[in-house]
Amino acid sequence: MKADTQFWRDLKANRQKMTKQQYRTIKGQAVKGNMDAARKGMLRIQQRRNYR
């Protein structure tokens, strides 16, 4: 359960650095219970942002 709480904190902290659609997609995945995909997607966005 703590991992989920940490994920939501990270998602909210990175909201300004994502496009609206990226945020909505990852949030939707997490709400539906697909936390693995949401984490993977958030990591991909962070990696892309750091390399550009």
pLDDT tens digits, 1-48:
677 899 999 999 999 999 999 999 999 999 999 999 999 999 999 999
The pLDDT, as a whole number, for residue 4 is 87
Sequence length of the chain is: 52
Structural domain harbouring 35 = 2-51
DSSP 1-33: -HHHHHHHHHHHHTGGGS-HHHHHHHHHHHHTT
Q: Quick one: pLDDT at residue 25?
A: 97
pTM score, whole prediction: 0.84
Residue 26: partners with Cβ closer than 8 Å, 6 or more residues away? 11, 18, 38, 41, 42, 45
Residue with tokens 């995945």: 29
Position 1 scores a pLDDT of: 64
pLDDT of residue 30: 94
Number of folded domains in the chain?
A: 1
* Statement: residue 52 has pLDDT above 70: no
